[in-house]
């Protein structure tokens, strides 16, 4: 096995035994990037020099017996939505094309304080708005005229918005990655690319220094090769942060050490609303087989009703654009980022600077969501749309709470279809939005959810199984996910690029 193919757990053990060094591990990752990045296009920015410096520092610590943590020396990729001090951060938008942050996001700061190594910044849908990474302003694939590609089939999208992180993990261009999930942006690309992707409970991980899309929905999480790796990484990402008032002060468990793979008697709910019209038969077959596997491990499976969950997508596409409209107002061409002022155009009014800078800097999807959000927040429509959506959000959350009083976990597909072809949905926004119909409900409810490789279609495209837990129920979904991966080998398969 090549070093870049190792999991966090495997690499950590080899580093601890001094069988390998962090420099060797990091160089192996960059050798892999040299071989396949021109096809896959996972990264916007690579940090080879910085990464090797961090790796050398890690090796020096280990020589003196002062390793900072089990992830000390582990090469990790970061979605280009996290502020990284002194490293270009773009949110995949031209409006931030030359932005160098002067401080570090809390999640990445925690990783570096634990000794992790920054490989680079991965591609995404612009400002995390999209389900295919096609809305990125950066064409990162050198061999193809498109953005990031799915390593399992280069004609297919990797999913989004964390498509670059998912593709990098699947292609072994990093040992692990981090992403963000607002309506499925970790879980959907994880499913499309055949990796594990975890969205924690809202508030489990600080959002400070993560460029905001929709602040009441955004959550940071790990994207890894195994469930156990997600458990390891989650420990270092989690915890209260004085700079994020929505972060929780609840104690952070050592998730990986507490994993219990015995799921006998675990009560799992199957919501019929997630298995209806629009679900690809190939996806349905894989999920049914995965549920049978959970049954064989001793889990009890029962049907549950979630009738209000079908309104979650409509709620999401009212609340999310409203928050986008507010959050993106800061990108005005004055304080930072792209500005027509830099072109030294004469006689521009303030309004002209705003409108021209934004017209040139924002992509079409960002503009669409800003306009939708401004509309639902406008006088005369606020009560009809935004206020009503908030009320329905409360009902969705209440329904999940009631269900979790009867079952321990919920199992569902992650997406209605496997990864689709480039261009298939980009011209039809409504069709693209429906890609998130099964991941979205967990976000307005604030629940933890994970995508785990569950099998493949006849066309050799990965399919993910979604486990949804109650608030602060990360340990339960990690336990069930680990038990499933112990009994299957879907997560061990890798694309042949």
Q: What are the residue numbers of the active site?
A: 79, 161, 185
Q: b/e per residue, 162-172, with b = 16+ CB within 10 A?
A: bbbbbbbbbbb
For 241, other C-beta atoms within 10 Å of its C-beta total 20
CA–CA dist 349, 57 (Å, integer): 50
Phi, psi (rounded to 5 degrees) for 478: -70, -40
Instruction: Report the DSSP pairing between strands 409-413 and 267-271.
Output: parallel
Which two tokens mark 450? 């994970």
| Cross-strand partners of 480 | none
CA–CA dist 47, 55 (Å, integer): 12
Contact 239, 219 (CB under 8 A): no
CA–CA dist 81, 420 (Å, integer): 24
Question: Which residues lie closer than 8 Å to 202 by C-beta, 6 or more apart?
Answer: 216, 217, 219, 246, 443, 446
Contact 411, 269 (CB under 8 A): yes
């Amino acid at each position: 096995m090549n070093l870049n193919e190792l999991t966090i757990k495997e690499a950590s053990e080899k580093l601890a035994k001094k069988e390998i060094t962090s420099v060797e591990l990091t160089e192996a990752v960059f050798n892999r990037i040299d071989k396949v990045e021109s096809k896959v296009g996972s990264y916007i920015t690579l940090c080879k020099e910085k990464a090797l410096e961090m790796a050398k520092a890690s090796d020096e610590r280990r020589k003196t017996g002062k390793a900072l943590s089990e992830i000390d020396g582990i090469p990790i990729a970061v979605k280009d939505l996290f502020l990284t001090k002194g490293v270009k951060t773009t949110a995949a938008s031209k409006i931030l094309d030359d932005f160098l942050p002067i401080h570090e996001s809390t999640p990445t700061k925690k990783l570096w304080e634990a000794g992790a190594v920054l490989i680079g910044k991965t591609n995404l849908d612009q400002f995390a708005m999209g389900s295919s990474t096609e809305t990125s302003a950066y064409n990162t694939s050198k061999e193809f005229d498109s953005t990031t590609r799915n390593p399992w089939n280069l004609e297919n999208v990797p999913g989004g918005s964390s498509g670059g992180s998912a593709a990098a993990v699947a292609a072994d261009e990093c040992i692990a990655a981090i992403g963000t999930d607002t309506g499925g942006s970790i879980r959907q690309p994880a499913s499309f690319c055949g990796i594990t992707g975890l969205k924690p409970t809202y508030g489990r991980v600080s959002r400070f220094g993560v460029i905001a899309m929709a602040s009441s929905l955004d959550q940071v999480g790990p994207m890894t090769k195994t469930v156990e790796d997600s458990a390891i990484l989650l420990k270092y990402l989690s915890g209260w942060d004085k700079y994020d008032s929505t972060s929780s002060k609840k104690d952070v468990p050592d998730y990986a050490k507490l994993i219990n793979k015995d799921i006998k008697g675990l009560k799992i709910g199957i919501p019929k609303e997630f298995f209806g019209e629009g679900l690809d038969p190939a996806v349905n077959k894989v999920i049914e087989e995965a549920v049978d596997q959970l049954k064989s491990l001793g889990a009890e499976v029962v049907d549950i009703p979630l009738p209000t969950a079908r309104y979650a997508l409509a709620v999401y596409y009212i609340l999310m654009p409203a928050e986008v409209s507010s959050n993106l107002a800061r990108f005005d061409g004055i304080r930072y980022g792209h500005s027509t002022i830099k072109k030294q155009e004469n006689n521009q009014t303030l309004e002209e600077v705003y409108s021209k800078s934004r017209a040139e800097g924002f992509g079409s999807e960002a503009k669409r969501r800003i306009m939708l959000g401004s509309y639902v927040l406008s006088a005369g429509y606020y009560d009809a749309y935004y206020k009503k959506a908030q009320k329905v959000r409360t009902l969705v959350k209440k329904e999940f709470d009631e269900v979790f009083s009867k079952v321990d976990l919920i199992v569902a597909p992650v997406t209605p279809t496997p990864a689709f072809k480039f261009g298939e949905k980009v011209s039809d926004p409504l069709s693209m939005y429906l890609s998130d119909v099964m991941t979205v409900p967990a976000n307005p409810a604030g629940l933890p959810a994970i995508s785990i490789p569950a099998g493949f279609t006849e066309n050799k495209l990965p399919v993910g199984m979604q486990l949804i837990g109650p608030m602060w129920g990360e340990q339960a979904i990690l336990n069930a996910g680990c038990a499933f991966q112990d009994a299957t080998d879907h997560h061990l398969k890798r694309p042949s690029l």
